[in-house]
Amino acid sequence: MSELLLVSTALGLVATFAAPWLELRGTYAAWRIVEWHTFWRGGLDGTQPAFQLASVVATDYRMPVEFATTAMQDTLRAVFALGSALGVWHGIALFALLIVGARLRLRAGVSRRRVALEIGAIVLVNLAALYLLATLLALPSGLAPKVDFRSATDIHMDSLIWSSMTILPIAPTFAVFSVVGQLVALWNSRRMKHV
């Protein structure tokens, strides 16, 4: 197996599922919220609460989510579509690598049960690593009390309002370049077979 393919797939999975793609800033009642999101996190359809705010409100509370402009919502949908496509691509690449690895192990005489256990362990380790990285890379997110001199009746309390969004280009760029690396590795392996 090509090292480039392995490295590209690992980098693509981390860049797609664990690294932040955008920063959202907003308010809810007397809270200021700053959150770093991967493409699949939070509130695209207006029904999911923010991660930081979820530690303050009840877990079963269904919080309406609003956006300051429709352009923000459209951009978020476009980012989600790109991230979903890249996530599916990198997921398929990982699945293909697992199948190739399993076949190599079976040809080497390893029992099916052992190969299944190894594949299961690899998948669990990957999921745990992605979860830990996503948690670690989201640490710049914050929830802070908002100093407000309005009366309680003037404070908007019904929904979380995202007022600004910044796209963080590093993770999406790495996710796209990982696809290029995978395609180059596949092309090189096919070329070597024909030589």
pLDDT of residue 114: 92
Q: Which tens digits make up the pLDDT trace of 19-31? A: 999 999 988 887 8
Q: Which position has the token pair 């092309």?
A: 187
Is the confidence at residue 145, as pLDDT, over 70? yes
Going from the C-alpha of 72 to that of each of 79, 130, 132, the distances in angstroms are: 10, 27, 28
Q: Which tens digits make up the pLDDT trace of 94-109? A: 999 999 999 998 999 8
Is the confidence at residue 157, as pLDDT, over 70? no
Label residue 56 exposed, middle or buried (CB < 10 Å: 0-12, 13-18, 19+): middle
What predicted TM-score, i.e. pTM, was given to this entire model? Answer: 0.84
Q: Which tens digits make up the pLDDT trace of 103-131? A: 998 999 888 999 999 999 999 999 999 99
What is the Cα–Cα distance from 148 to 162, expressed in whole angstroms? 18
Q: Give the pLDDT band (50/70/90) at residue 154.
A: low
pLDDT of residue 93: 93
The one-letter code for the residue type at 63 is M
Going from the C-alpha of 50 to that of each of 61, 136, 171, 190, the distances in angstroms are: 12, 17, 20, 45
pLDDT of residue 53: 84
Q: Which tens digits make up the pLDDT trace of 33-70? A: 999 988 877 545 555 778 888 888 877 777 788 888 99
Which contiguous run of DSSP H or E holds residue 97?
Answer: helix 70-107
DSSP secondary structure, 118-166, as one string: HHHHHHHHHHHHHHHHHHHHTTT-EEEEPP--S-TTTS--SSEEEEEEE
Mean pLDDT of the chain: 86
* DSSP SS3 for 167: strand
pLDDT of residue 13: 94
Q: Identify which has the larger pLDDT, 165 or 194.
A: 165
CB atoms within 10 A of CB 42: 20
